[in-house]
Amino acid sequence: MEQNFDIIVAGAGPAGLSVSAEMAKRGHRVLVLEKETAGLTKRSWFVPPFVLDEETRPFSFGGVTRFLAATFSGASTKWKAEEFPAYPYIDEKTILPYWVKVIKDKGSVIMDNTAYVSKTVHKDSVTVNTSRGVFTSKLFLDATGYESKKDTASASKRAGYYWWSVYGAVLEMPLTGGLQVGDYMMWQTFKDTNANPDESLGHGRPVFEYEVLGPNKVFALLLFLRKEQVTKETMEPLFTQMLRKEDSTAPFHDAKIAEIKYGWYPSGGVSQSVASDRVGYVGDSACWTTPCGWGMTFILQNYKRYAEKLDETMRAGRLDGEALRALPAYRADAEFQLTFDRLVIHFLSNAPAPMLDKFIDFFNKIDPILCERMFTLTLTEEDFETAIGLFVKNFTLRELASVLPPEDYELVFEVAETAGRVVIWDYIKKWWDKLIGKTYKADDAGFSFKSGN
């Protein structure tokens, strides 16, 4: 088999396959390495409708039409279908094989059961060691997802990630107990898990979620949003307990499990420009995601533009780190959204039940779809001001400081700074010394923090 390629891509998830298909269409010889089987995944996705185009829309179906949310202590909200366009599901069983076919039809190569092991970067090429031999290329793209061995300086950013850990199942069951096709329900807490925060669950509050995909088909899942990834072994019995035993999940108790889904995905930050000479990162490996973890959404939004610019860069012979770092250009270019979303997601991860209740109430007071605009990074400035204003009205800084880890205090200030027209700055000043025991000082470069003076 040929050993030399234009591009070697490690990982045949949606990021690796979509970018590879685009580059193959543009005449580049691509080798895709997949340690399992390309085109298979244990993930599934729904996405905002605006990320689909003529090419990807045929792979979508149904959709979320009714957002519901509740917490163990009783706070609940219901966002009506007519207020927003349905959020469609992407059929992972057809879109990934479609990209596989495009890659092969264009004469590029996919190797299943082949693990990427290591790489050596030379002046004009990259040597890639795999479990099935050594290959060379002009460019190496790491699309290995959350398992990326990312060893660049930006690896430190990964330490700041929060992780969604997911274990769930596609269920076959009749719709009883008020379930409707298109329902997307999130329960923020459960009695048992709240009562025993120090036992098997450790800290952090799980979310039980279900999405009604069709008249007899529901995807039910357990999610943790935490600094750590929660293992499959920990989640499996908890999911079973929630699905089969909790009073509030009665309609699910006898459901037939058709397919298990699980995995992890990053949230809490976006690394837009991770690359070094001849080495790029796409998808979860580069934290191509929104702060709340819409990784597939980001891939669909960005892969074409990324490939278009990569093609130009390759043709210009510019594969240095600087040129590659300049490639990702997310639609969400407003920094305030990223900062605010990080703050919100860290809050959701760490807040106790009464504060989560307040958060749910908070969304009852505003345009319900604003929450989705926040999580898909499509807030307008006006939305942002509304959200900040309500956040400040609903939560005191004392409450925020009590749940956010210390490294996030700076985020609070960044949000305040970028909030601009929202009058919360004086409010924050008033509380700062009292709560943190530090002072802040405005300078030309923004705000700096000095301890104890």
Ligand X SMILES: Cc1cc2nc3c(=O)[nH]c(=O)nc-3n(C[C@H](O)[C@H](O)[C@H](O)COP(=O)(O)OP(=O)(O)OC[C@H]3O[C@@H](n4cnc5c(N)ncnc54)[C@H](O)[C@@H]3O)c2cc1C
Nearest approach in angstroms of CB 435 to ligand X is: 36
* Cβ proximity of 19 and 282 under 8 Å: yes
Nearest approach in angstroms of CB 446 to ligand X is: 31
Stretch that binds ligand X, among 145-153, 191-199, 311-319, 359-367 (CB under 6 A): 145-153
Here the tokens at position 179 are: 């379930």
Can residue 16 be called a binding residue for ligand X (CB under 6 A)?
Answer: yes
When binding is defined by CB under 6 A, the residue of 26, 43, 217, 232 that contacts ligand X is 43
Nearer to ligand X, 45 or 409 (CB): 45
Can residue 189 be called a binding residue for ligand X (CB under 6 A)?
Answer: no
How many other CB atoms sit within 10 Å of the CB of residue 221?
A: 21
Nearest approach in angstroms of CB 48 to ligand X is: 9
When binding is defined by CB under 6 A, the residue of 21, 23, 31, 45 that contacts ligand X is 45
Here the tokens at position 310 are: 């990569």
Stretch that binds ligand X, among 22-30, 288-296, 308-316, 396-404 (CB under 6 A): 288-296
Nearest approach in angstroms of CB 170 to ligand X is: 11
Report which of 156, 157, 149, 220 is spatially closest to residue 183, judged by C-alpha positions: 220
Here the tokens at position 400 are: 């925020």
When binding is defined by CB under 6 A, the residue of 294, 395, 409, 432 that contacts ligand X is 294
Contact letters (x/-) for ligand X, 149-168, by CB under 6 A?
A: -----------------x--
Q: Rounded distance, CA 15 to CA 36, Å?
A: 15
Can residue 36 be called a binding residue for ligand X (CB under 6 A)?
Answer: yes
* The pairing of beta strand 183-187 with beta strand 217-226: unpaired
Radius of gyration of the chain (CA): 23
Q: Looking at beta carbons, which residue is closest to ligand X?
A: 295
When binding is defined by CB under 6 A, the residue of 183, 209, 284, 357 that contacts ligand X is 284
Nearest approach in angstroms of CB 75 to ligand X is: 24
When binding is defined by CB under 6 A, the residue of 108, 289, 339, 418 that contacts ligand X is 289
Contact letters (x/-) for ligand X, 236-275, by CB under 6 A?
A: -------------------------x-x-x----------
CA atoms within 13 A on the CB side of 66: 15
CA atoms within 13 A on the CB side of 291: 26
When binding is defined by CB under 6 A, the residue of 65, 137, 144, 378 that contacts ligand X is 144
Stretch that binds ligand X, among 39-47, 170-178, 331-339, 424-432 (CB under 6 A): 39-47
Q: Rounded distance, CA 294 to CA 310, Å?
A: 23
Can residue 39 be called a binding residue for ligand X (CB under 6 A)?
Answer: no
Nearer to ligand X, 240 or 386 (CB): 240
Nearer to ligand X, 38 or 412 (CB): 38
Residue 450's Cβ-count burial label (10 Å; 0-12, 13-18, 19+) is exposed
Can residue 295 be called a binding residue for ligand X (CB under 6 A)?
Answer: yes
Stretch that binds ligand X, among 13-21, 76-84, 243-251, 319-327 (CB under 6 A): 13-21
Q: Rounded distance, CA 445 to CA 443, Å?
A: 5
Number of residues near ligand X (by CB under 6 A): 38
Stretch that binds ligand X, among 10-18, 250-258, 320-328, 343-351 (CB under 6 A): 10-18
Nearer to ligand X, 363 or 375 (CB): 375
Spell out the residues 6+ positions from residue 316 whose beta carbon is closer than 8 angstroms to its own: none
In one letter, which amino acid is 102? V
When binding is defined by CB under 6 A, the residue of 52, 81, 86, 115 that contacts ligand X is 115
Sign of the four-CA dihedral 158, 161, 167, 172: negative
Nearest approach in angstroms of CB 283 to ligand X is: 2
* Cβ proximity of 214 and 181 under 8 Å: yes
DSSP letters, 104-134, are HHTT-EEETT--EEEEEE-SS-EEEEETTEE
DSSP letters, 181-238, are TTEEEEE---HHHHH-TTSTT-SS-EEEEEEEEETTEEEEEEEEEESSPPPHHHHHHH
Q: Rounded distance, CA 94 to CA 422, Å?
A: 46
When binding is defined by CB under 6 A, the residue of 75, 126, 296, 356 that contacts ligand X is 296
Nearer to ligand X, 261 or 305 (CB): 261
Binding site for ligand X (CB under 6 A): 10-16, 33-36, 41, 43-47, 115-116, 143-147, 166, 261, 263, 265, 283-285, 289, 293-297, 299
